[in-house]
A = this chain, B = another copy of it.
Amino acid sequence: MAMRQTLDFLLNDWLKVNELNQRPRFAEHSGETFAAVLDTCEKIAREKFAPVNRLTDTEEPRFDGERVHLPAATHAALAAYVESGMLAAAQDYDTGGMQLPCVIEMAANAFFSMANIAMGGYAMLTSGNANLLMAHGTPLQREVFAKNEFSGRWFGTMCLSEPQAGSSLSDVATRAEPDGEGFAADALGPRYRLKGNKMWISAGEHEISENIIHLVLAKIPGPDGKTLPGTRGISLFIVPKHLVNERGELTGERNDVALAGLNHKLGYRGTTNCLLNFGEGRFKPGGQGGAIGYLVGKPGEGLKCMFHMMNEARIGVGLGATMLGYAGYEASLAYARQRPQGRPMTQAGKDAASPQRPIIEHADVKRMLLAQKSYVEGALALELFCARLVDELHTAKPDEAAAAGLLLEVLIPIAKSWPSEWCLEANSLAIQVLGGYGYTRDFPVEQYWRDNRLNMIHEGTHGIQALDLLGRKVVMNGGQALLALAGRINQTVQRALAVPGLAEAANQLAGALGQVGKATKSAWASGLPEEALANATPYMQAFGHVVLAWLWLDVALVAQGDSDFERGKRAAQQYFYRYELPKIAAWLAVAAAREPLTREMQDAWF
> Counting CB contacts under 8 A, is A287 at the interface?
no
How far is B585's CA from A356's CA once the two chains are assembled, in angstroms?
A: 35
CB distance from A606 to the nearest CB of B (A): 5
CB within 8 A of A265: which of B200, B439, B574? B439
> Counting CB contacts under 8 A, is A438 at the interface?
yes
Stretch at the interface among A72-80, A238-246, A455-463: A455-463
This chain's copy number in the assembly: 2
How far is B428's CA from A449's CA once the two chains are assembled, in angstroms?
A: 12
How far is B365's CA from A536's CA once the two chains are assembled, in angstroms?
A: 12
Stretch at the interface among A291-299, A317-325, A333-341: A333-341
In the complex, are the beta carbons of A440 and B264 less than 8 A apart?
Answer: yes
List 16 additional A-B contacts (Cβ < 8 Å) besides A263-B440, A439-B454, A582-B585: A166-B341, A166-B436, A170-B350, A171-B356, A264-B442, A266-B449, A333-B606, A344-B530, A364-B467, A365-B463, A366-B598, A367-B598, A436-B457, A568-B606, A579-B595, A585-B586
Residues of B within 8 A of A347 (CB): 527-530
In the complex, are the beta carbons of A571 and B586 less than 8 A apart?
Answer: no
> Counting CB contacts under 8 A, is A435 at the interface?
yes
13 examples of A-B residue contacts, CB within 8 angstroms: A164-B356, A263-B442, A264-B440, A264-B442, A265-B440, A267-B439, A364-B598, A432-B456, A578-B590, A578-B595, A580-B586, A582-B589, A583-B586
Question: 1/0 contact trace for A427-443 toward B, CB 8 Å?
Answer: 01001100110111110
Residues of B within 8 A of A373 (CB): 606
Residues of B within 8 A of A185 (CB): none
In this complex, how many residues of chain A approach chain B with their Cβ under 8 Å: the count is 104
In the complex, are the beta carbons of B161 and A436 less than 8 A apart?
Answer: yes
How far is B585's CA from A30's CA once the two chains are assembled, in angstroms?
A: 49
Contact A345/B583 with A373-B606, A432-B457 known, Cβ cut-off 8 Å: no
CB distance from A326 to the nearest CB of B (A): 13
In the complex, are the beta carbons of B263 and A360 less than 8 A apart?
Answer: no
Pick the most buried of A344, A366, A585, A606: most chain B CB atoms within 10 A of its CB.
Answer: A606
Residues of B within 8 A of A454 (CB): 439
Contact A432/B266 with A165-B341, A337-B603, A529-B346 known, Cβ cut-off 8 Å: no
